[in-house]
Amino acid sequence: MAQAADTRKRGKTSGKANSPEIDREQLLAAYRTMLLIRRFEEKAGQLYGMQLIGGFCHLYIGQEAVVTGMQMAIGEGDEVITSYRDHGHMLACGMEARGVMAELTGRAGGYSRGKGGSMHMFSKEKNFFGGHGIVGAQVSLGNGLAFSNWYRGNDRVCLTYFGEGASNQGQVYESFNLAALMKLPTVFIIENNKYGMGTSVERASASHDLSKNGSPWGIASAQVDGMDVLAVKAAAEVAVAACRAGKGPYLLEAKTYRYRGHSMSDPARYRPREELQLMRTQHDCIDHARHQLEQLGVEEARFKAIDDEVKAIIQDAADFAQASPEPDAAELWTDVLVGG
Amino acid sequence: MATQILMPALSPTMTEGKLARWLKNVGDDVRAGEVVAEIETDKATMEIEAVDEGKLTQILVPEGTEGVAVNTPIAVLSANGEAVAVAAVAAPVAQAPVVLASTQAVAPAAAAIAEDKDWGAMAPTTVREALRDAMALEMRADADVFLLGEEVAQYQGAYKISQGLLEEFGPKRVIDTPITEHGFTGMAVGAALNGLKPIVEFMTFNFSMQAMDQIINSAAKTLYMSGGQMGCPIVFRGPNGAASRVAAQHSQCYASWYAHVPGLKVVAPWSAADAKGLLRAAIRDPNPVVVLENEILYGQTFDCPTDPDFVLPIGKAKIERAGTHVTIVAFSVMVGVALKAAEILAARGIEAEVVNLRSLRPLDTDTVVASVKKTSRLVTVEEGWPYAGIGAEVAMRVIEEAFDWLDAPPVRVHGADVPLPYAVNLEKLALPQPDWVVDAVTKIV
């Protein structure tokens, strides 16, 4: 079955960053990726409700433009690492919806053969390094991915995603220092969705402009509207180009919003309903992209075709995730050690 | 086409809930993502959103209904508004209880570990030189191997283990880090996940606690969590345990902490040969290996094989002294204590067999059990605390596998169950001495 378009093609990083030119086909591809992520997450939420998915399940609905825009700025071989709100990142990296959904249902057909679950998924083939359940841990690990590029002398960069909640972890600041000190090619992306679980950023961080959190170490930075995929892409291109040119790390803060609770059992009573409604109705990234595409003359039939295609992918993924068998009992003992 | 809306589970433990309120009425159009109802669980009131779009044609469970089981159809959506009868809901896939395919208590160790053998010519070597030589040899052989840590490069190592490495391999492969254990350990683990082979030096293992999350949650578990896709070939090394008069925060044995973790290998060398052979094996191993060295041993001289290919298997213990009356199992600096005790015991006519574990995970149960079957008595010696310690593990394995051969209960010799004190007399009272081992043996022989 077809999957998310792997938007990572080398050599597309030269765009004019400050005035994003609207490329119709690129925007259509982004629209499709965002829609794929949203429909995937809605389906995951439904399967969770049916108890086919267990444990923790953190949905990315609302934030789709961030990963979609970022991924448009990187190329083959660049690494990606993120936290546990990771389904969207995997789809944007070109991992198959089937394998991701089957991991959520804990089946043999999942990316980790059912042994990782929602928060722990990886694809060596797509250079996706997780999927990490410990808040902030992926930031130090991302430095290591960037370090390996530095060590090997290639021009690859690592996109290291984390939330504004993780941005208060000590190892994030250790990583800022190390990355700046060693000029590691890391793009740090703070996905600021305003709430670390139920605590608003204002209640958690004395820093009011998170994009400046790397400033003591001289880390170049920018703030971007994370609900606008082209704005994210433009900012990402600047960041990635700087990293690739050997200028060291770059910090991007994407202002975004998650529509759902932190995890599945979160009623999100810590924020006013009007705030959510405003973001949904006035700032939705998919609606925004669609509006831009309509102005570019994209017709209803094209949207319908994308909708249908995405719907089919998601239905196929859901069917596969339920039909795939549970892992064999012998899998309990495999992959503990290489060679054992 | 009609779609049912099912009563959703809103947490991992929810089985039923109250349908508190409908926000949509029959006849309303519903968009995907729109809130249609509120559900009350024992924890909270939650909104549920439609996944599909269509017209709400039937409400099957009126608002205010309590005890609605998860997966019960609560409403019907229709794409074109036709009335639809409620079909039976497919039951979720039955979750059969997992029957273990194996009764093994620990995950299997790597297969095909080469046997120890006679390596021929020996030369007097300090443990410090042996560790340095092991790193230099492996770095010459494999460009992916590099060393990082505090003071490893320009300072030549806080304990001079990395002497000369910066000069030979340059600053790209011998890297001074800031004092930032969590940050540089995570960075090294990330580099290993991407195929490099880092050697992380902790100035002492006490500081590894700052980085323990990365060692356990990232290095040890990623292979498993990734379904075998992503291994982590990394070495964590440095002095472990008490040194001399550095008190509680700098004097702790991490043997049982790390040996507890599936996905890690743990070795604890005693002699120069142990140090060189085990560190080389650790660097070559595709898994994360914790190498617990000992500061007191660094300056001690032992005969060490000179063969450039010398390496030791991880997972094999060594009988350092043969005997027939009692088996003394020790590791790291306590092997020396056990050997001194064996000499004292020999003068009294008691022949002790001293087993140097070398590897703590995997543990060479076979060698220990074979020895106990010969001697019928077991004494374990470790510097660390007794609670859930290595001695407890060794004794339990002997009880499991050689209970009928034991003529007396196993005895543990261990560090005092207190934070290590500074005062010279108290410190001595807290750390196992040869006469403690002699006393333990004479209790059961």
Q: State residue B91's pLDDT score.
A: 39
Q: Which of A286-290, A307-311, B51-55, B358-362 has the lowest average pLDDT?
A: B51-55
Distance CA A7, CA A12 (A): 10
Digit-coded pLDDT (tens) for A243-270: 999 999 999 999 999 999 888 888 888 9
Give A68's contacts (C-beta < 8 A, 6+ positions apart). A7, A30, A33, A34, A37, A88, A92, A229, A232
- Give the pLDDT mean for B60-70: 91
Q: Could you say which architecture CATH assigns to the domain A24-326?
A: 3-Layer(aba) Sandwich (3.40)
Query: Is the four-CA dihedral B302, B308, B314, B315 of positive or negative sign?
Result: negative
CA-CA-CA-CA torsion sign (B122, B125, B127, B129): negative
**Residues of chain A found within 8 Å of residue B194, distances taken between Cβ atoms:** 79, 129, 144-145, 148
Predicted complex ipTM exceeds 0.95: no
CA angle A62-A63-A68, nearest 5°?
125
Phi, psi of A155 (to 5 degrees): -110, 25
What average pLDDT score do residues B347-355 get?
98
The tokens describing B442, both together, are 């004479």
Q: How confident is the model at residue B101 (pLDDT cuts 50, 70, 90)?
A: very low
Q: Is the pLDDT of residue B106 over 90?
A: no
Q: Is the pLDDT of residue B2 over 90?
A: no
Q: Which of A100, A95, A145 is nearest to A119 (CA)?
A: A100
A residues 170-199 closer than 8 Å to B (CB): 170-171, 174-175, 177-178, 181
A332 touches B at CB < 8 Å: yes
Question: How far is A86 from A43, CA to CA, in rounded Å?
Answer: 15
Residue-level pLDDT at B108: 46
Question: Among B250, B293, B325, B383, which one carries the catalytic annotation?
Answer: B250
d(CA A101, CA A112): 11
Domains and CATH numbers, chain B: 2-78 (2.40.50.100), 122-305 (3.40.50.970), 318-444 (3.40.50.920)
Parse chain A into domains and list their residue ranges: 24-326
pTM: 0.89
Find chain B residues with C-beta within 8 A of A113's C-beta. Answer: 227-228
Percentage of residues of chain A with pLDDT beyond 70: 94
From chain A residues 283-322, the ones with a CB under 8 A of any chain B CB are 322
pLDDT at B4: 86
pLDDT band (50, 70, 90) for residue A83: very high
Note whether A163 contacts B: Cβ–Cβ < 8 A. no
Q: What one-letter code names the amino acid at B46?
A: M
What pLDDT is attached to residue B114? 54
B408 - beta bridge partners? none
Residue B355 β-bridge partners: B319, B329
- Which residue type does B17 have? G
Q: Looking at the predicted structure, is the pLDDT value of residue B79 above 90?
A: no
Subunit contact A140:B182, Cβ cutoff 8 A: yes
Average pLDDT, integer, range A213-220: 97
- The angle at the Cα of A123, spanning A225 to A129, to the nearest 5 degrees, equals 55
In whole angstroms, give the CA distance from residue B424 to residue B36: 73
Residues of chain A with Cβ-Cβ distance to B100 below 8 Å are 329, 332
Specify whether the CB–CB gap between B317 and B357 falls below 8 A: yes
Q: Do B184 and A145 touch (CB under 8 A)?
A: no
Q: What is the mean pLDDT of chain B?
A: 91
Closest CA to B355 of A20, B370, B427: B370
In the block, which residue shows the tokens 């391999």? B169
What proportion of chain B, given as a percentage, has pLDDT over 70? 91
Q: How far apart are CA A7 and CA A337, in angstroms?
A: 34
Rounded CA separation B284/B197 (Å): 8
- How high is the pLDDT of residue B213? 98
The whole-number pLDDT of residue A220 equals 98
Q: What's the pLDDT score for residue A267?
A: 81
Distance CA B394, CA B390 (A): 6
Of the ranges A4-18, A158-172, A193-207, B124-138, which one carries the lowest mean pLDDT score? A4-18
Between CA B342 and CA B110 the distance in angstroms is 33
Instruction: Please count the residue pairs, one from chain A and one from chain B, whose beta carbons lie less than 8 angstroms apart.
Output: 231
The distance of A337 to chain B (nearest Cα, Å) reads 6
Contacts of B183 in chain A (CB under 8 A): 140, 143, 171, 174-175, 177-178
Check residue B86 and give its pLDDT: 40
Residue of chain B nearest A173, judged by CA positions: B183
Best mutation target, A105, A121, A154, A174, to test chain B (most B CBs within 10 A): A174
pLDDT at residue B1, as a whole number: 67
B375: amino acid identity, one letter = T
Give mean pLDDT, residues B80-102: 42
Give the largest Cα separation in chain A, rounded: 58
pLDDT at residue B269, rounded to an integer: 98
B235 bridge partner residues: B199, B289
Q: What is the mean pLDDT of residues A171-186?
A: 98
Query: Does the annotation mark B295 as catalytic?
Result: no
The model's confidence at residue B111, banded by pLDDT at 50, 70 and 90, is very low
Q: Which of A193-202, B64-73, B187-196 has the highest mean pLDDT?
A: B187-196
For residues A188-216, average pLDDT: 95
- For the question of residue B353 being annotated catalytic, the response is no
* Interchain CB distance below 8 Å, A111 and B191: no
Spatial neighbors of B41 by CB under 8 A, at least 6 apart, are A265, B10, B11, B14, B17, B18
User: Is residue B409 within 8 Å of residue B440, measured between CB atoms?
Assistant: no
Query: What tokens appear for B7 in the block?
Result: 């009563």
What tens digit of pLDDT does each residue of A226-246 get? 999 999 999 999 999 999 999
pLDDT at B109 over 80: no
Question: Which residue type is seen at B299?
Answer: G
Tens-digit pLDDT profile for residues A90-115? 999 999 999 999 999 999 999 999 99
B363 Cα to chain A: minimum distance (Å):
14
pLDDT digits (tens, 9 = 90+) for A14-29: 444 444 567 999 999 9
B50/A44: higher pLDDT: A44
CA–CA gap between residue B9 and residue B50 (Å, rounded): 14
C-alpha B333/C-alpha B269 separation (Å) is 8
Summarize pLDDT for B290-346 with one digit per residue, the tens: 999 999 999 999 999 999 999 999 999 999 999 999 999 999 999 999 999 999 999
Read off φ and ψ for residue A118, nearest 5 degrees: -50, -40
Task: Say if CB B320 and CB B355 are below 8 A apart.
Answer: yes
Asked if A54 lies within 8 A of B12 by C-beta distance, the reply is yes
Would you place residue B392 in the very low, low, confident or very high pLDDT band (cuts 50, 70, 90)? very high
pLDDT band, very low/low/confident/very high, at B33 (cuts 50, 70, 90): confident
Q: What is the pLDDT of residues B248-299, one digit of tens each?
A: 999 999 999 999 999 999 999 999 999 999 999 999 999 999 999 999 999 9
Q: Which residue has the tokens 């990187």?
A: A74
CB B206 within 8 A of CB B292: no
Average of pLDDT values for B159-175?
97
- Model pLDDT, residue B99: 39
Mean predicted confidence (pLDDT) in A276-285: 94
